[in-house]
Amino acid sequence: MSEDTEVVQPSVDTTPAPVETYNPWKFVPLLYVMQAIPVTIISELSTVFYKDLGIPNEQIATWTSIIALPWSLQFLLGPLVDLSAQKRKWILLGQLILTACLALAPFLLLPGQKAFTVSLIFLGGTAFVSAMTNIATDGFYLLAFPKTVQASFAGIQTACYRAGRLICMALVPFLVGYFMRFNPVTVQTQGNLYFSVKGPADKSPSYLKTATFHLDQGELTTDQGQKLLDDKGVPVAIPGVENQFNIQNGKLEVAGKQVTLGLYQLGKVISDKPSDSTAKLTSYPTGDPTDSFTGQPATRAMSAPTAWFISLFAVAVLYALLMVPARFLLPAPSQDKSPDEAQLGQFRGNLNRTLAILGFYATAYFALSGTWKIAANTLASLNPVALKGWLLPVKAMAFGIDVHMSGLTAEIIQVLVCIPIAVVLVIILRKSLRGTAMGEAFSSFFRQSGVIPILGFLTFYRFSEAMVAKMSALFLKDDLAKGGLALNNAQFGFIKGTIGVGGIILGGIVGGVLASKIGLKRGFWVIAILMHLPIFLYLYAAMAQPSNMGFIGFVEFMDQFGYGLGYAGYAVYLMSVAQRGNHRTAHYAIGTGLGATFIALSGIIGGVIQASSEGYRTVFLAALLFAIPGLLTLNFIPHDETAS
Q: What is the biggest distance separating any 2 CA atoms in the chain, rounded to whole angstroms? A: 96
> Above 70 in pLDDT, residue 642?
no
Q: Is the pLDDT of residue 33 over 90?
A: yes
pLDDT at 20 > cutoff 70: no
Topology alike, domains 1-181+303-331 and 440-644: yes
Determine the distance from the C-alpha atom of residue 194 to the mean position of all C-alpha atoms in its chain, rounded to a whole number: 45
pLDDT at 455: 92
Note the CATH number of domain 1-181+303-331. 1.20.1250.20
Of the listed ranges 33-37, 233-237, 443-447, 485-489, the least confidently predicted one is 443-447
Q: What is the pLDDT of residue 15?
A: 53
Residue 16 pLDDT grade (very low, low, confident, very high; cuts 50, 70, 90): low
- What one-character-per-residue DSSP string does 530-542 give? HHHTHHHHHHHHH
Query: CA-CA distance, 569 to 513, in Å (whole number)?
Result: 10
> What's the whole-number mean pLDDT along residues 454-474?
92
Rounded Cα distance between 597 and 47, Å, is 18
Lowest mean pLDDT among 65-69, 141-145, 499-503, 601-605: 141-145
Instruction: Kindly list the distances between the CA atom of residue 628 and the CA atoms of 269, 466, 528, in Å, as whole numbers in the listed order.
Output: 59, 14, 11
d(CA 271, CA 279): 12
Which whole number is the average pLDDT over 518-535? 86
pLDDT tier, 398 (very low <50, low <70, confident <90, very high otherwise): low
Ramachandran region, residue 287 (left: φ > 0; alpha: ψ -120 to 50; beta: rest): left
Cα–Cα distance measured from residue 640 to residue 578, given in angstroms and rounded to the nearest whole number: 10
Residue 285: is the preceding peptide bond cis (ω within 30°)? Answer: yes
Residue 104 — pLDDT band, cuts 50, 70, 90?
very high
Q: Is the pLDDT reported for residue 273 higher than 80?
A: no
Structural domain boundaries in the chain: 1-181+303-331, 185-299, 346-434, 440-644
Residue 248 has pLDDT above 60, yes or no: yes
For residues 286 and 253, the answer to whether their CB atoms sit within 8 Å is no
Mean pLDDT across the chain, nearest whole number?
Answer: 84
Task: Quote the pLDDT of residue 514.
Answer: 78
In this model, does residue 358 exceed pLDDT 90?
Answer: no
b/e per residue, 95-110, with b = 16+ CB within 10 A? bebbbebbbebbebbe
Helical segments of 448-499, H only: 451-460, 463-477, 489-492
Task: Provide the 10 A C-beta neighbour count for residue 447.
Answer: 9
What's the pLDDT at 585? 66
Identify whether the C-beta of residue 282 lies closer than 8 Å to the C-beta of residue 264.
Answer: yes
Residue ranges in 498-548 assigned as alpha helix (H): 500-518, 520-532, 534-544
Asked if the model's pLDDT at residue 288 lies above 60, the reply is yes
User: What CATH number is given for 440-644 in this structure?
Assistant: 1.20.1250.20
Least confident of 141-150, 203-212, 470-479, 576-585: 576-585
> Binning pLDDT at 50, 70 and 90, where does residue 322 land?
very high
Q: Cα(478)–Cα(616) distance, rounded to whole angstroms?
A: 10
In angstroms, how far is CA 255 from the centroid of its own chain?
28
Distances in Å between the alpha carbon of 4 and those of 367, 413, 531, 607?
Answer: 24, 33, 15, 19
Is the pLDDT confidence value at 276 over 60?
no
Residue 587: pLDDT band (50, 70, 90) is confident
Backbone angles phi, psi at 182, to 5 degrees: -90, 150
